[in-house]
Amino acid sequence: MELLRVRGQGYRLGAPIDWLDSTEIRRHLGQQAETYELRVVDIVESTNTMLLEDSVGGAASGVVLAAELQTRGRGRRGRVWHSGLGGALTFSVLWRFEQGAGFLAGLGLAVGVGLVRAVRSLGLEDIMLKWPNDLVIRHRKVAGTLVEIHGDVLGPSLAVVGVGMNFRLHAATRERVDQAVTDLVTEGAPHDRNRLLGEVLLQLARVVETFRASGFGPLRSEWESYHVYAGRRVVVRLPDGTLEEGTAAGVGEDGALLLQTRSGLRRFHSGEVSLRALGVGERRRGASGF
């Protein structure tokens, strides 16, 4: 949140805050409104953490927890996500499945498909995916996801999917992030977080319905069409610090990255693996995540 000092009048907000409103979000959801139970809170350490705790207490599938401000937002590989009040859209969704935890391997990529559909419906056709969990516009990060899965091998299982989207980044927030970023408003999206969340939840309901019935397979080719590194030379950094170079050759039905190397086709799962375009990744390290 940016405060401006007005001579003789005190202080005012640098930009008005577009507060989240459950009624407005439901209006944008239309017939899908009954799919979700919406909870909007002012401040929370982490929406994922809170929703995981609620899941232990029996929270139903379809609960959405959205926060105006997160103080300890978490990302993949232990990263911290930075946001200011009203400058981001941060929320988590709980889904329960009859299948076992292994079935959910490609869920994060399915969620990415839903997010791209939602953002493109608002007019931002340049939005792309970067394996495994980032959304970018012209290689500048605009959103990311964190999927946390719990359950038995044979089922049932549950997933809490956290989503962080840069809506309107304040200058102070940009300075805290050590990678190239942008936000949706800057790129031309409507100044309406309620409409954005409604559209995102609408598209997520559709992809999760497909995923629940048939897994990631039916969404695989669409995901590959959005991949910013499709067919490009890339480098994968492994947990031990070693690098593997090759050509991004799509993804498997379990969401694994397929890399065509000199020694053949290799598969990588997200875990502690990071992906960069060849010649770019080693110049910028320690980027913050969602």
* Spatial distance between the Cα atoms of 169 and 110, rounded to a whole number of angstroms: 26
The pair of three-digit structure tokens given for residue 110, joined into one six-digit string: 């399915």
User: Is the torsion defined by CA of 115, 162, 181, 274 positive or negative?
Assistant: negative
* Spatial distance between the Cα atoms of 270 and 259, rounded to a whole number of angstroms: 13
Q: Which residues pair with 90 in a beta bridge?
A: 67, 164
- For 261-270, which contacts have Cβ atoms below 8 Å and span 24 or more sequence positions? 268/236, 268/244, 269/105, 270/76, 270/108, 270/131, 270/132, 270/133
* Spatial distance between the Cα atoms of 2 and 16, rounded to a whole number of angstroms: 10
Q: Which residues pair with 92 in a beta bridge?
A: 65, 162
Report how far Cα 115 is from the mean position of its chain's Cα atoms.
Answer: 8
Catalytic residues: 76, 141, 276
* Spatial distance between the Cα atoms of 159 and 259, rounded to a whole number of angstroms: 27
- Tell me the C-alpha to C-alpha distance, in Å, between residue 194 and each of 27, 73, 167, 170: 9, 20, 11, 19
* Spatial distance between the Cα atoms of 246 and 50, rounded to a whole number of angstroms: 39
